[in-house]
Structure 1
Amino acid sequence: MSGEFEGYERQYCQLSANLSKACIAAAPLDGEQKKQKISEIKEGIEEAEALIRKMDLEARSLQPDLKTLLLAKVREYKADLNIIKREVKKIVSGDLNPSVRDELLESNTTNVMMASADHRERLMVSTERLNKSGDRIKDSRRTMLETEEFGVSILQDLHSQRQSLLHTHDSLHGVDNNISRSKKILSNMSIRMNRNKCILSTIGVVLIVVIILILYFKLS
């Protein structure tokens, strides 16, 4: 994202310097040559405005700290373009007398030299800042990737633990079923034992009664 802004900025700085030179070249011209030159300058101004709009949109799509920095640069470029527009208006306003024309030429030459130096300095500062921002973004991405890998590792561990818990739950469910079966078997065995005890008790009582009767009849 910041690389696109840097590209627009480089194009604008080059175009701005060319427009300033074109203003110097148009000042001494007359007639059709002057009109043609002014027409070319106006086309360049429109292109410069389009680049500024692109820079503005690009800056607004970035992170807040970088956005504030780049929007300040956009305002500087708008002010720079307004200076060029005022120069064009001076040229278009009418025929200039020699002294005013010489003054305009001298002023424009000075402005071009200062603008070129200022543009170079701004490009160097901007490039350095963008490089630092790029490094910060790379560090952020690296941290994000490390965090993502750590998160994936945690999710894998949680999945493994979930599988272990599900396996344990299935095992416990099987044990519970076995315990339920064992309870039923023991219950059935207890019922049978009680039944057998009743039968044996009955048989014992019957035998005792028989023995008593036998003894009674023998003794009597």
Structure 2
Amino acid sequence: MATLIDNYEQQYAVLTADVTAKISRISALTGGDKRVFSQDVDRQLEEAQELLEQMELEVRGTSGSQRERLKSRVESHRAELNRLSQEFQLAKKPKEDVTDVSLDDNWDGGVTEDQRKRLLDTSERIDRTGRTLQNGYRLVLETEEIGSQVLKDLHDQRETIQRSRGRLRETDAELGRGSRLLSSMIFRSIQQRLILVAVAVILVIVGCIVIYYSFTSRS
């Protein structure tokens, strides 16, 4: 519950900060520009009012000391919104119509010391949230850079593997050709040996025949 209210407060703080910046510019504008800024601020004030209503609904769902603490925070936000609405109404008036009815420097708009402290605490939380978001964004950029480098390394490794695979296929083809050539050489060697053996056998047989006939003719 408190986390949801914190989220509403962060949205509210962003809205009111933008409204404050625009109000400071409206009084110096004229014509169409002033009308456009005024319409934009009207819309943002309505959004801020809706956020306060959402916060009040969430506060009703709490109890005990937490409810009182959250209620005080919402009341301080509402006092701040009322002050911004009054400043906006003054800023919308033509310069010649603006008199000394502007807010006095000592006007506190009904904001108590505790409410001011709550506003300061909320502002500090928003600053811390902003710094956390910046750190997170920087971390995302660093992670993206690391991821890009990893992808580049993987791409280079893939090319290296593909080149190695190509060389392996070429080596395998060369081994296949060498194996076939070696088999052919072994077959020819065996064939030649068989021929030599056959010739030797024939020569032995012929020699035996010659010797046989030579003995036969003498006898």
Relative to the length of structure 2, the TM-score reads: 0.52
**Any idea what the Cα deviations from partners look like across 1:74-94, whole Å, max 9, x if unmatched?**
97159958xx9xxxxxxxxxx
Q: Aligned pair in 2 of structure 1 residues 124, 193: CA closer, same or farther (>3 Å)?
A: same
Structure 1 residue 76 corresponds to structure 2 residue 74: yes
5+ residue gaps, structure 2, are 1-6, 21-42, 55-69, 83-106
| C-alpha separation in 2, matches of 1:182 and 1:11 | 81
Q: Which amino acid aligns with 1:198?
A: L
Q: Which residues in structure 2 correspond to 1:161-180 (within 5 Å)?
A: 161-180=157-176
Give the SS at the match of 1:115. coil
Q: Higher helix share goes to which structure?
A: 1
Q: Which amino acid aligns with 1:52?
A: Q
Aligned counterpart, 1:8: 15
**Any idea what the Cα deviations from partners look like across 1:110-139, whole Å, max 9, x if unmatched?**
x97423877765554433322221111111
Structure 1 residue 183 corresponds to structure 2 residue 179: yes
Q: Per chain length, whose mean CA-contact separation is higher, i.e. which structure has more relative contact order (CA < 8 Å, sep 6+)? A: 1
Q: Which amino acid aligns with 2:204?
A: I
5+ residue gaps, structure 1, are 14-45, 58-71, 85-110
Kept in 2: contact 1:9–1:55 (CA 8 A): no
| C-alpha separation in 2, matches of 1:7 and 1:74 | 20
**Any idea what the Cα deviations from partners look like across 1:116-167, whole Å, max 9, x if unmatched?**
8777655544333222211111111111211221222222222222222222
Q: Aligned pair in 2 of structure 1 residues 206, 118: CA closer, same or farther (>3 Å)?
A: same
Aligned counterpart, 1:53: 50
Q: Aligned pair in 2 of structure 1 residues 186, 10: CA closer, same or farther (>3 Å)?
A: closer
Structure 1 residue 212 corresponds to structure 2 residue 170: no
Q: Which residues in structure 2 correspond to 1:1-220 (within 5 Å)?
A: 5-9=12-16, 50-53=47-50, 76-77=74-75, 80=78, 113-115=109-111, 123-219=119-215, 220=217
| C-alpha separation in 2, matches of 1:136 and 1:47 | 25
| C-alpha separation in 2, matches of 1:79 and 1:156 | 51
Give the SS at the match of 1:114. coil
| C-alpha separation in 2, matches of 1:47 and 1:162 | 54
Kept in 1: contact 2:19–2:45 (CA 8 A): yes
| C-alpha separation in 2, matches of 1:194 and 1:159 | 52
| C-alpha separation in 1, matches of 2:44 and 2:138 | 38
Identity over the aligned pairs, expressed in percent? 25
Q: Which amino acid aligns with 1:215?
A: I
Aligned residues: 147
Q: Which amino acid aligns with 2:168?
A: L
